[in-house]
Amino acid sequence: MAVSFDLFGTLVEVTPPDDPARAVATELAARDVPVPSDWERAYAERHVETESGAELSLVEHVVAGLDSRGVAASEAEVRATLLDAFATPVRMKRGARAAVGAAAERGPVGVLSNCSVPGLVPRVLSRSELRADAFDAVVSSVDCGWRKPDERAFERVAARLNVSPSELRHVGDDPDTDGGATAAGATSILLEDVPLTAVPSHLENAE
């Protein structure tokens, strides 16, 4: 048995910016990147087409948004901008450490998180009491290319954990995204049914 955990809302709580476009603009300006006068409109527009279920990197979106207004910025510059724009305090959820520890006692354990900002998931983990090296695999949608509930996201984390999807149990807080594990042949454990503090006993009973 292998266990994957959703990150945001499951293992940790974060408070994203109230106005992401403004937060990004502030960090762009701090790097002397010209901010278009209609940046909020440009940020809201679709610039890159993706297929259903695919994740679009926010780096690619911002670079294309700036380019649509005649502003050039490198991907490295924008990536650093986004990591700072979305840097918020990280609060560990009660029971997170025990749940991850219980999963690790039974087999490989990973993180599977929807996140469009490259590098943000490892950064959040590094700022929590759970370090990335506590997991056998850390998979974000921007890295694997697919957003939960797309089956390919769950298949990817299962492959990284060296198990078949049928051997994977996925713990998450969102029925619409984390519940998609069942379509991939995995088992979903939703926090509305099994609180995080009860996950250790749930895993023990599932053996």
State whether 111 and 150 are in the same domain.
yes
Is 196 in the same domain as 105?
A: yes
Q: How confident is the model at residue 130 (pLDDT cuts 50, 70, 90)?
A: confident
**CA dihedral sign of residues 44, 46, 48, 51:** positive
* CB of 165 closer than 8 Å to CB of 178: no
Cα gap 47→64, rounded to integer Å: 6
| Owning domain of residue 24 | 20-85
What is the mean predicted confidence (pLDDT) over 196-200?
A: 98
Tokens representing 115?
């996140």
User: Strand pairing partners for 172?
Assistant: 190
Q: Is the pTM of this model over 0.85?
A: yes
Write the pLDDT tens digit of every residue in 99-125.
999 999 999 999 999 999 999 999 999
Q: Are residues 55 and 118 in the same domain?
A: no
Domain count, the chain: 2
pLDDT digits (tens, 9 = 90+) for 48-99: 999 999 999 999 999 999 999 999 999 999 999 999 999 989 999 999 999 9
Instruction: Indicate whether 65 and 28 sit together in one domain.
Output: yes
Report percent pLDDT > 90 for the chain.
95
Extract the tokens encoding 27. Answer: 């960090």
Do 131 and 173 fall into the same domain?
yes
Q: Is 111 strand, coil or helix?
A: strand
Residues 4-28: tens digit of each pLDDT: 999 999 999 999 999 999 999 999 9
Considering the domain architecture, whether residues 198 and 120 belong to the same structural domain is answered as yes
Rounded to 10°, the helix 75-85/20-30 angle is 120
Whether 9 and 30 share a structural domain: no
pLDDT (mean) for 184-206: 96
**CATH assignment of the domain containing 190:** 3.40.50.1000
Q: Tell me: pLDDT of 129 over 90.
A: no
Which amino acid makes up residue 191? Answer: L
At residue 133, the pLDDT reads 79
Q: Does residue 79 sit in the same domain as residue 98?
A: no
Total count of residues recorded for the chain: 207
Residues 172 and 101 occupy one common structural domain: yes
